[in-house]
Chain A
Amino acid sequence: MAHRSRRLATMVTIVAALALGLSACGGSNIKKTTTSSGKTCGDFRIAVNAWTGYYSDAWVVGELAKKKLGCNVSYVKLAEEPSWNAMANGTVDTILENWGHEDLTKKYITDQHVVQDAGQTGNKGIIGWYVPPWMAKKYPDITNWKNLNKYASMFKTSESGGQGQLLDGDPSYVTNDQALVKNLKLNYKVVVGGSEAALIQSFRNAEKNKTPLLAYFYEPQWFFSEMKLVHVDLPKFSSDPKVCPTAAAQIRCDYPPYDLNKLVSTKFAQSGSPAYTLVKNFHWTNDDQNLVSTYIAQDGMSNAAAADKWIAANQSLVDQWLQGT
């Protein structure tokens, strides 16, 4: 038995060797990849937060780094705060769209110096309360917060316990809504949707069925290209703390406008990687971002294909970003 199996094994080995040898004659047609840039780039790890606009930032920068700079790009899919964490412990190089986060800025940039600001993305962030377009048309005065109480009963749902419902989204988003409702004495209850999907789907339902909805939302967001949500104006934001107190419990003004910025880990900034220069130069508009996001979310393109399409159409802007790499 043992003898026979050994003979078999030998036979198999010989056949295998022959087969390998024969097929080797054909030669290989897989080309080794080489980088085209002068400087070596190496690894470039982009944190990817879970909203479509961020995908647009990440893949546009990532595709450029991969194709023009020869970087080994990886996309690290994380929520916002864990991304800061990951930058601090060196597993991520950059965050391409940061929304404020004063506490983390103080901890990681000011105190520990492990993270650096890499300038603005050019995107203007707006956070606020929105209603679907049909409501703004039918009730034009609803866009002023002073009239919200008048309409409160319309916004009643099974979740809001007799008051009007103000729908909030993902728990990771910046929100002052509890304090706003209280301090502006609005007869509303903040109901937590729990995710961005819940918000967008609720707006779709509301517009389609002409049901009332008041919800937290933000720009830049690809969804605006599908539906022009209408902003409800709260008391205008002012940087004067006497007019608009900043303590969490006393907030009574609309959200401040955000200039979204990019962050890099200090280690990455000092590495001399051409990808760092690219990140610093990266600067575009809300419309640019929304266009890429629409390719992804509505046209069903892959993130990379959407980014490539936009890059091909905006060569001159892209060339500016690549200067000095």
Chain B
Amino acid sequence: MTATPTVVEPPVTREEQPHVAEPTRRPVWLLLLGIVVIWGIGYAIFHGRDTLATPFVQLNGVQHWINGIRDDIQAAGQTNWFFHGVIGNISDFANWLITQLQNLLSHPAPGLPVPQIGWLGVTAIFAWCAYAAAGLRSMILVLVATQLFGVLGYWQDSIDMVIITVLAVVVSMVCAIPTGIAMARRSWVSAAITPILDAMQTMPSFAYIPFFFILFGPGAACAIVLTVVYSIPPLVRITEHGIRSVDPSTQEAATSLGSTRRQLLRKVQLPMARRTIVLGINQCTLAALSMAVIAGYINGPGLGSDVLQGLTNLNVGQGAVPGLLIVVIAIALDRTTTAASQRSENRGRGHGELSPRLRRIVLGAGLVVVLIAVYASHNYIQAAQFPSGLDIGNHVADGINSVSDSIVDALGGICNAFKNVISYGFLNPLQNLLADTPWWLMAPVLLAVSWVIGGVRPFITTLVCEGVIFGMGLWNDTMITLTTTIVATVLVMILAVVIGVWIGRNRRADAVLRPILDGFQTIPSFVYLVPALALFSSSRFTAIVAATAYAAPIAIKLVADGIRGVSPTTVEAARSSGITSWQMILKVQLPMARSSLALAANQGLLYVLSMVVIGGMVGAGSLGYFVISGFVQQPLFGKGLAAGIAITALGILLDRTARAAAERSRT
């Protein structure tokens, strides 16, 4: 999204002038003010009435009905041809396959104290693959990453993590790429599947895990299915986008030369969309890794259960070390796939680093080394096990603990005061206003807001989503969750604007902060729950902090990119007119980056919503807590799934309204 300076600059056009509010626009602010006034008056008179608050253990009809379906599936699971025959066999096959791979690479094989291929062999195989696919730099990265598995003391679980992630990404690709192609070619397919993807991305996995658990049992197969459900949507969407954005004139040229649809796809659309699709695979991989800890809850192999054990023992360092390894795996896979796509493109154009012959010789020689390493690691214990003297995982964990302790000691008092200011000053009044207003007033208020700022389509979406939330019997709790979501999103946007402007204007700050942002985006949030609890105790605000920590990086990056995307000539012109830095930021850069700000707010909001359930573990209560309760208590499953559906409805409601508002503000 960086701006490319063009050679000939036209004189500053109307669009490039700093944004000035036009007098003829609809009086949106006035209308909103009117709605708030009516709402306020209604609240003052009727607050506390008809709030639809329900006791925690009480289930409504829909929730009982969901429990009934669960019971039916559970009963049918033993005999039914589909559940027992088809799903059961798929599950057995997946578990068998993963066990074989584990015996080969990570777990002691039957009758042996070590896997068939030990440390040295696995390292050599990974390095060779990285070199073959992506080149020397990726190979070095992979070599370093793989040794970190051992150095930090989680060799076996890290290799398991790689196995599960790679398998999940492969399954996702097989499902997602054809779907994305079909969606790009037929708009009705796209219209039918998009809402399903929305649901897959916004519905918290904890809400439906019990279903999968019944069908697949605990373990690897279930972990893969859960991971795939979450990692498919980005790949489908990006594939669709990639194929759709192939230059139409190229397609016309191909069609006019007599290409059939199939030829058009294979010879024109797919090759031209290849880079975009690889980007999709990239995103799919990161999404798959972000499910690692949740997979740990159902005994999925990998680093997730190690992170969870750190949380159970309240040992920050013990959870952070496997968490960091997940980041390491993410970086290695991300950079390698990116390099592989660039390289295949370069080679397609004939710019290889080495001549094809030389390359083949190098690869062949490398293969010999790999075979020797595999052989040695199969036969010699020294080559099979990572040298235990190099394992410094415990020291790293202790170091992290002491850093975290000193932060908590230093900031504890301030943080608690800050929590109280926000909670009493902002969170509690807002929650009262949203949750204690009678539903028959609150629902029209939300409808009116969506109509005023978005228009007719968000109005209809809001109506449908409100109906769903109402039907799930969770109106009151959804309003409480909405409150924390709003507060967290506001905090995210404050951070995004402040830090985003800073690093957007300052390359050096960007270079320093960006890796930290990447780290926070990939490290499992379970890692920082314990320090967050130590700083803020268990409260809604703790949940807000955790959500902000997770959602801020993406929003900051988007704002920074937007600031950097402002045309340099405009910035130059403004500077030559002699304005201050503040004026530059407030009057030129921020207004012109408005669409990036809108996108940042939208993404920030969705990321915050995806943390609702984790918030439920640190004191947020309401929907997030219901979802976890449904996961761990069978009688509450219906309530948990209903809460998951309500979270999805809330997400779609907010997302569509925000998008429509952003679009409208652009025109």
Contacts and interface: CB of A to CB of B under 8 A. Distances in A.
Interface of A: 4-5, 8-9, 11-12, 15-16, 19-20, 23-24, 26-33, 50-52, 55, 72, 76-82, 85-86, 89, 91-92, 103-104, 157-159, 161, 167, 170-172, 178, 191-202, 204-205, 209, 248, 296-297, 300, 303
Contacts of A15: 368
16 contacts: A8-B360, A12-B368, A24-B375, A33-B113, A52-B312, A81-B634, A82-B218, A82-B632, A158-B419, A171-B629, A191-B538, A194-B619, A197-B311, A198-B538, A205-B534, A297-B315
A192 B621 contact: yes
B297 interface: yes
A76 B218 contact: yes
B111 A33 contact: yes
Contacts of A26: 379-380
B368 A159 contact: no
Of the candidates B299, B416, B620, the one having the most CB atoms from chain A within 10 angstroms of its own CB is B299
B625 A77 contact: no
B379 A29 contact: yes
Contacts of A29: 379-381
Interface in B603-654: 616-621, 624-625, 628-629, 631-636
B360 A5 contact: yes
A201 B530 contact: yes
B25 interface: no
A243 B60 CA distance: 31
B367 interface: yes
B81 interface: no
Given A32-B112, A159-B540, A194-B617, A81 B308 contact: no
B219 A91 contact: yes
A111 B457 CA distance: 53
B618 A193 contact: yes
B207 to A, nearest CB: 13
Given A8-B360, A20-B371, A91-B219, A158 B427 contact: yes
B217 A89 contact: yes
Contacts of B530: 197, 201
A284 B585 CA distance: 68
A194 B625 contact: yes
Contacts of B299: 76-78
Nearest to B319: A197
A12 B364 contact: yes
B625 A192 contact: yes
B20 to A, nearest CB: 42
Given A92-B218, A103-B635, A193-B619, A8 B361 contact: yes
A28 B213 contact: no
A62 B309 CA distance: 17
Given A28-B379, A297-B315, 18 more contacts: A12-B368, A19-B371, A55-B309, A78-B297, A78-B299, A91-B217, A104-B634, A171-B633, A171-B636, A193-B618, A195-B617, A197-B314, A198-B617, A201-B533, A201-B538, A202-B533, A209-B416, A296-B313
B374 to A, nearest CB: 9
Nearest to A84: B634
A200 B111 CA distance: 42
Interface string B300-332: 000001001101111100100000000000000
A297 B375 CA distance: 39
A297 B619 CA distance: 23
Contacts, number: 199
A178 B621 contact: no
Contacts of B381: 29-30
Contacts of A86: 217-218
Of the candidates A9, A77, A104, the one having the most CB atoms from chain B within 10 angstroms of its own CB is A77
B632 A79 contact: yes
A198 B308 contact: no
B368 A16 contact: yes
A12 B128 CA distance: 15
Interface residues of B, number: 82
Nearest to A107: B634
Contacts of A4: 357
Contact of A196 (B114, B312, B364): B312
B621 A191 contact: yes
B412 interface: yes
B368 A201 contact: no
Contacts of B188: none
Nearest to B209: A82
Contacts of B538: 159, 167, 191, 193-194, 198-199, 201-202
A24 to B, nearest CB: 8
B198 interface: no
Given A202-B533, A202-B537, A30 B380 contact: yes
Nearest to A51: B312
Contacts of A158: 419-420, 423-424, 427-428, 539-541
Contacts of A12: 364-365, 367-368
Contacts of B112: 30, 32-33
Contact of A191 (B298, B379, B428, B619): B619
Contacts of A198: 533, 538, 617-619
Nearest to B423: A158
Nearest to B308: A50
B150 interface: no
B257 interface: no
A194 B534 contact: no
Nearest to A172: B632
A16 B397 contact: no
Contacts of A204: 534
Contact of A172 (B108, B361, B633): B633
Contacts of B632: 79-82, 170-172
Contacts of B384: 30
Contacts of B55: 178
A20 B618 contact: no
A80 B297 CA distance: 11
A52 B313 contact: yes
B539 A20 contact: no
B73 to A, nearest CB: 12
B96 interface: no
B398 interface: yes
A300 B113 CA distance: 25
A168 to B, nearest CB: 10
B214 A300 contact: no
Nearest to A171: B629
Of the candidates A158, A178, A209, the one having the most CB atoms from chain B within 10 angstroms of its own CB is A158
Contacts of B634: 81, 85, 103-104
Contacts of B624: 194
A30 B313 contact: no
B529 interface: yes
